[in-house]
Amino acid sequence: MNNQTWQIRRMESNISEVFLIRNGRVIDPANNFDDVADILIVDGKIAAVKPEISFSADYEYDATGKIVTPGLIDMHVHLREPGQEAKEDFLSGSKAAAAGGFTTVATMPNTSPVVDNAALVRAMVKRAEEVGIVNVKIIGAVTKNQQGQELAEMRDMITAGAVAFSDDGHFDDNAKIFMNALDYLHDTGKVIICHEEETSLVKGGVMNEGERSAILGLKGRPTVAEDIAVARDVLLAEYTGGRVHIAHISSARAVDIVRYAKKRGVKVTAEVTPQHLTMTEDLVNPADTSTKINPPLRTQKDCDAMLEGLLDGTIDMIVTDHSPHAPEEKDREYIYAPSGFPGLETSVGILFTELYHKGKIDLKTLISKMTAAPAQIFGLNAGNLSIDMPADITIIDPELTWTVDAKNFYTKGSHSPFIGRELKGRAVATIVRGNLMKLNQW
């Protein structure tokens, strides 16, 4: 447990409470708003957004010099409940989310047991309401036990509260089963989030296949495995009229496939992670398992294609793929360690340092990819600062310089390739349903 103070102001349901955020640069892409303004919050909802609000408030936050945005949304995290609480749980994971500026996260179903039925979804929704510091949404499995052989009861899970479906961590090899899933969900509006790596081509691979993997003597995972999988799922979406969302896209050719499919009117969207935007295979070090992720770090050409796709709208959103593991799991030989690292607490810092401050992306686009876009695609009541919306808000200091230190993480995961990095830009306050969670700076 670190030595930071976690301060949460709880509102009493029977008392009208007024909270005023003053003088921040408010960026609300969904409403095309970008100006210095105040935000008035009454009883946990947005009451006004305009310059110089004159109102007597119970609490005021001076956001001078800071950016105020709709609460950040991450539609791809692994909070590890149920059954893998040694890696993470809803409490630690949602605290990490709040520390990183995220007010809504969606947790993947590849847990133990797999979240593949309505009873488990209901249990997870209840658990999230009981202990979650932020809004935790539940993603259900596409197939029973994520084995790709039989469809899970997805409609029952929708009724229970599932917001989307995924067999993340697995590519559904059986095209007929996957096509049936798209047909089954066709009239529900729900999205299938697809992990795209053709299984036979990546078996045993631990990094990107290429010259670097040959030099290191590590078995590779080729980009063509992703390209084939993306092409198949795009074609099936076009054939059925279903909705597919490409998880953690990383291959330049896969971006081209999605771009072309969108031009044809296919219902396909895509996400990218900070690591696939800013890191390459050159950083892979067999002595440091934090760089082992899935899909693997690619080439600079692929990184450039990710940014281009983000800017031209081919890639719709940014996610962290927050994947914490227990220390003893990552402290193994590279080939045996599990893939993934915690990303919720470093995402804003990496994106601001490597993209915004280097002039590679403007603030409106960056904020839109983390707020309005995911809310619109997944049908969430979030992602904007419209009147009467839940007051989910993130306050970012774009100039704050800080050093990544695992001892200060709220997540249980400690293996991050960003440890020791000096970053510029950080979420300094997170507001969920009008409740302020203000972190002490470190």
**Looking at residue 380, what is its pLDDT?**
98
Which residues touch 162 (CB under 8 Å, ≥6 apart)? Answer: 121, 138, 139, 140, 154, 190
For the chain, give every residue range classified as CATH 2.30.40.10. Answer: 18-68+389-436
Domain spanning 71-378, CATH class: alpha beta
The DSSP 8-state label assigned to residue 136 in this structure reads: E
Is 321 tagged catalytic? yes
**Looking at residue 16, what is its pLDDT?**
58
**Looking at residue 4, what is its pLDDT?**
34
- Which DSSP helix (H) or strand (E) runs through 348? helix 347-351
Question: What would the CATH number be for the domain defined by 18-68+389-436?
Answer: 2.30.40.10
**Looking at residue 55, what is its pLDDT?**
85
For the chain, give every residue range classified as CATH 3.20.20.140. Answer: 71-378
In tens, the pLDDT along 278-324 reads: 999 999 999 999 999 999 999 999 999 999 999 999 999 999 999 99
Q: Which of the following is catalytic: 89, 167, 321, 392?
A: 321
Three-state SS letters, 201-263? HHCCCCEECCHHHHHHCCCEECHHHHHHHHHHHHHHHHHHCCCEEECCCCCHHHHHHHHHHHH
Weakly modelled stretches of the chain, pLDDT under 50 = 1-15, 440-442
**Looking at residue 438, what is its pLDDT?**
56
In tens, the pLDDT along 104-136 reads: 999 999 999 999 999 999 999 999 999 999 999
Structure tokens at 101: 């500026």
CB 439 within 8 A of CB 6: yes
